[in-house]
Structure 1
Amino acid sequence: MKSISISTNKGYAVSATVYEGEGDLVLIISSATGVKQGFYSSFSDYLQSFGVTVITFDYHGIGHSLNSPIEKLSTRLSDWGMYDLDAVIQFAKSNYSLAKITLLGHSIGGQLVGFSRSSFQLDRIILVASQSGYWNHWEGMDKLKMWIYWHVIFPSLSSFFNYFPSKSLSKMENLPKQVAMQWSSWGRSSHYFYSEFPEEGLFFKSIESKITSISIEGDDLAPKLGVEWLTSQFSNAKIKRIHFEPKDFGVKEIGHFGMFRNEFQDNFWKIILAEALD
């Protein structure tokens, strides 16, 4: 693997890693919120062993793409799709012009696809636990928890620290203030990102490629209702929906991040590989 820097149209660069395969398939991994690209390294190694070239990257303000004090960043969540992901797609198209380009969007990584004007050039898209973050898609205590996060915790802590201190509350990396503020604003609305951006200003309907959307029973960060809402925004794509339960893999729980653990390489990872090659 090799580390590279990819320039964006917003004047900054993002840190990326290329796992060079010998085949004619390139797979871009668009990470979950606040998750460093290294989280997907074992999964990327696995795909590379089957000849797939994998490109991972850190969004601006995360991991190796954080090159200045996070308190000073004005980066927004939408920028991660409009500039960061868009630049990575263009890099893949330019450097692997004869290859099939597949994108795997994990969680918010799947949401950001619709913000990239280059997304229509993707040959294949796989959404893994990609959802709307609207609080009312959850049930029971999780619904209350999401309401409190979006209405109280995210706005107040982001304003106080001038960034969102995710590391103190979860396993996520800290988030630039405007990323957290924009995300919580969307999460308060049933229209989610459409509460800020008109449908015609985004690119969900421009995508006509095959899309596989995967939801997971018991995922407390991506309830099936939220996954279905996001999937439905790709109204002109050829959609395949898959809903997994932990028992399908002989485990008690998978969660929002578990499917990328090594223990799933003999089942879930094989399924992703097959979908990418389809």
Structure 2
Amino acid sequence: MNQVNYIKQTVMFSQRFPSEKIAIIAADGRKLSARWWQGANAFEHSVVFIPAFAAPQAYLHCFAGYLAQQGWGVMTFDYRGIGASKDDQLDSFVTLDDWVNLDIPAAILEVKRRTRTRFLGAITHSVGGQLLGQSPACQSIDGALFISSQRVIPKLFEGISRLRIHYAYMVFPILIRIFGYLPISKFTLPQPCPSKALLQCMRWGRSGIFTDINGTNVEDRFADYKSPLIMLTISDDYDYASVAAVEALASLYVGATVRHEVINPLDYGLERIGHFGFFHRRAPQKLWFQVEGWLKQLVSEHSLI
């Protein structure tokens, strides 16, 4: 099932545990759409989700609600230019630097303001793991769990998966030049995304180097994250987050204690999980229970520091 269908099916499930739709204000005054779950133990341990690229936060709400039921405080949000944080007058100026330096810090600060929690964790998905390591706010995170977070460098993928990436890197910039934006279709992305942010993300993949919007190498920032990190690879997510791609991102987190875990769909009675299936409302509770167990291990490791 694709990302659009995940989003449609998550809203009803997430209502099983009460949540609050809120607005968080970034340092530059930009208002971002977010949702907060006040789990029973939010003051002990809370997490903020750092989402995938061009993916409105609703797809995270099922797993967020599950964690809240287990007592976690949980924050999800939309980057500026995505989902309910879109602004037609401002989005043409949005870059990944804004997500890194303004949006992620604003979300993390809001969780700290609400809870003063003893443990503040981050759960990233896909590009979220690339962004967190560049953000100054990563130093506020006590432990992180990355789900299919990777580098999207073509040589890290094989076969058709590599060709799909080459196709995107070649065709998407052409479409943006023609239309001024990337049209939504089954051949592009399922959700609109700020063009400058998209072009910057593709430069990261083509060059193999993380740079800011001015072209300055920022890879040394990843060393600032010094807390425990668990990297999850989904064994059948070969199109978006191959084992090699996940390991390539992990290698940048030189200041962290990194542990790798592999999720095999067959171990959970599934034929496949893919890139978004982990967050689906029909994901086996056994799978979410396992991942929450890894989050608890991060809490325990932090308590020993």
TM-score range, shorter chain: over 0.9
| Residue 225 (structure 1) aligns with | 244
| Residue 114 (structure 1) aligns with | 133
Tell which deviates more after alignment, 7-16 or 232-241: 7-16
Counterpart Cα distance in 1 of 2:22 and 2:105: 16
Q: TM-score, normalised by structure 2?
A: 0.85
Tell which deviates more after alignment, 226-235 or 259-268: 259-268
Q: Which residue identity lines up with residue 184 of structure 1 in the other structure?
A: M
Q: Which residue identity lines up with residue 31 of structure 1 in the other structure?
A: P
Among 146, 157, 163, the alignment partner of 2:175 is 157
Structure 1 residue 15, shift from structure 2 partner: 0.8
Counterpart Cα distance in 1 of 2:149 and 2:280: 18
Structure 1 residue 163, shift from structure 2 partner: 2.0
Counterpart Cα distance in 2 of 1:196 and 1:275: 36
CA contact (8 A) 1:33 1:172 kept: no
Q: Which residue identity lines up with residue 179 of structure 2 in the other structure?
A: F
Counterpart Cα distance in 1 of 2:74 and 2:233: 23
| Residue 257 (structure 1) aligns with | 276
Counterpart Cα distance in 2 of 1:69 and 1:181: 19
Structure 1 residue 132, shift from structure 2 partner: 0.4
Counterpart Cα distance in 2 of 1:218 and 1:98: 35
Counterpart Cα distance in 2 of 1:165 and 1:69: 18
In the alignment, does 2:232 pair up with 1:206? Answer: no
In the alignment, does 2:210 pair up with 1:189? Answer: no
Structure 1 residue 61, shift from structure 2 partner: 0.6
Q: Deviations over 1:236-265 (max 9, x none)?
A: 111110122222222221100001112324
CA contact (8 A) 2:210 2:218 kept: no
Counterpart Cα distance in 2 of 1:30 and 1:271: 20
1:159–1:51 distance in 2 versus 1, CA, 3 Å: same
Q: Deviations over 1:62-106 (max 9, x none)?
A: 111013257x52101232122111111112222221331110000
| Residue 63 (structure 2) aligns with | 43
Measured on the aligned residues, the alpha-carbon RMSD in Å equals 1.9
1:170–1:247 distance in 2 versus 1, CA, 3 Å: farther
CA contact (8 A) 1:15 1:57 kept: yes
| Residue 14 (structure 1) aligns with | 32
| Residue 68 (structure 1) aligns with | 88
1:231–1:197 distance in 2 versus 1, CA, 3 Å: farther
Aligned length: 275
Structure 1 residue 114, shift from structure 2 partner: 1.3
Among 69, 73, 91, the alignment partner of 1:53 is 73
Counterpart Cα distance in 2 of 1:255 and 1:168: 17
Among 31, 35, 39, the alignment partner of 2:51 is 31
| Residue 145 (structure 1) aligns with | 164
Among 270, 274, 277, the alignment partner of 2:293 is 274
- Matched-pair identity in %: 28
Q: Which residue identity lines up with residue 172 of structure 2 in the other structure?
A: F
Counterpart Cα distance in 2 of 1:41 and 1:167: 24
Among 172, 178, 184, the alignment partner of 2:190 is 172
